[in-house]
């Protein structure tokens, strides 16, 4: 029994696994993998779990999800920066157009009413032979000057409304400019169109497969673990039995003392 208790004590004092993904249950002290949520029987099997296909697949999936999130975050930041730059450039262009329009209006207001080379009205005896009046030229100049004046903000908003609602962009153009996002998928070990791997290559590339010695050692460890569990159960059962025996002995001793006291009292009365 002392050897069994020594083995149990050594088992309880077994070194804990020090790994970022290793965690222990607070109630049972069971070793678990933090990302796979898989229970590992003993510390010696931790390295085997890290090399298993399920663990490697979970790690690869988490890394791919993190990469996709980072890419989406970068795209959102770029889109926000581009939109802000476009807004600033449009504001600068509108202010410049307003400034140019105000300067043109000032120049038109200060222009002389008559040109320097205009003749008096009674210079020609026959008015029909005189030069053509410059009224048409003035009207043309006024039309050109009004074109340089900046448009009203309401007109700009109306043009934007026409472009967005009345004249929407072509669906094909929207489709060509669209960015498509999809959930990541785990790629197969053998890409489509490639020849399948040979058995020798598969055995060489998969470190999770164990040879006969490793299988034998694993089996021995499992058997040893089973034996230790049985010994612990037997020890608990033995402790419970010892406790019951102790309680029964105490009750019998109390009954004996009670009977002796009753006999002594009866003898004293007689």
Average pLDDT of the residues in 125-136 = 53
Mean pLDDT of all residues belonging to the chain: 72
Rounded to 10 degrees, the C-alpha dihedral 191/195/197/199 comes to 150
Question: Is 41 contained in some domain?
Answer: yes
Question: Is 17 contained in some domain?
Answer: yes
- Residues whose CB falls within 8 Å of the CB of residue 34, separated by 6 or more in sequence, listed in order: 20, 21, 22, 23
pLDDT, one tens digit per residue, over 145-200 is 555 455 667 677 777 766 766 566 666 666 666 665 566 666 666 656 566 655 55
Q: How does residue 21 score in pLDDT terms, banded at 50, 70 and 90?
A: confident
The percentage of the chain sitting over the pLDDT mark of 70, rounded to a whole number, equals: 54
Question: Is 4 contained in some domain?
Answer: yes
Question: Is 160 contained in some domain?
Answer: no
Question: Is 21 contained in some domain?
Answer: yes
pLDDT recorded at residue 68: 92
pLDDT recorded at residue 112: 46
Residue 82 has pLDDT above 50, yes or no: yes
pLDDT, one tens digit per residue, over 22-31 is 888 777 778 7
SS3 32: strand
pLDDT, one tens digit per residue, over 218-269 is 889 899 888 988 888 888 888 888 888 888 888 889 888 999 999 898 888 8
37: left (phi over 0), alpha (psi -120 to 50) or beta: left
pLDDT recorded at residue 239: 87
pTM of the model: 0.28
Domain extent, residue 35, equals: 1-51
Question: Is 39 contained in some domain?
Answer: yes
Distances (CA, A) of 24 to 40, 51, 203, 220, 230: 10, 20, 33, 24, 22
**Nearest by Cα to 64 from 56, 74, 52:** 56
Domain count, the chain: 1
Question: Is 27 contained in some domain?
Answer: yes
Question: Is 42 contained in some domain?
Answer: yes
Q: How does residue 69 score in pLDDT terms, banded at 50, 70 and 90?
A: very high
């Amino acid at each position: 029994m002392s050897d069994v208790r020594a083995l149990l004590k050594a088992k309880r004092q077994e070194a804990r696994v020090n790994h970022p993904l290793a965690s222990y249950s607070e109630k049972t002290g069971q070793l678990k993998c933090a990302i796979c949520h898989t229970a590992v029987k003993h510390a010696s099997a931790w390295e085997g779990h890290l090399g298993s296909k399920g663990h490697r697949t979970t790690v690869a999936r988490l890394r791919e999800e993190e990469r996709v999130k980072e890419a989406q975050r970068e795209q959102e930041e770029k889109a926000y920066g581009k939109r802000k730059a476009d807004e600033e450039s449009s504001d600068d262009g509108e202010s410049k157009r307003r400034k140019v329009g105000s300067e043109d209006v000032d120049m038109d207001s200060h222009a002389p009413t008559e040109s320097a080379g205009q003749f008096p009205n009674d210079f020609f005896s026959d008015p029909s032979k005189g030069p053509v009046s410059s009224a048409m030229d003035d009207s043309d100049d006024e039309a050109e000057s009004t074109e340089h004046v900046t448009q009203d903000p309401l007109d700009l908003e109306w043009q934007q409304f026409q472009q967005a609602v009345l004249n929407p962009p072509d669906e094909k153009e929207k489709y060509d400019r669209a960015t498509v996002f999809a959930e990541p998928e785990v790629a197969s070990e053998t890409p489509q169109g490639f020849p399948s791997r040979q058995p020798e290559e598969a055995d060489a590339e998969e470190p999770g497969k164990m040879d006969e010695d490793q299988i034998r050692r694993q089996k021995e460890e499992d058997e040893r673990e089973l034996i230790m569990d049985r010994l612990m159960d037997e020890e608990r059962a033995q402790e419970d039995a010892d406790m019951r025996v102790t309680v029964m002995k105490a009750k019998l001793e109390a009954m004996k003392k009670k009977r002796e006291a009753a006999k002594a009292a009866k003898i004293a009365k007689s």
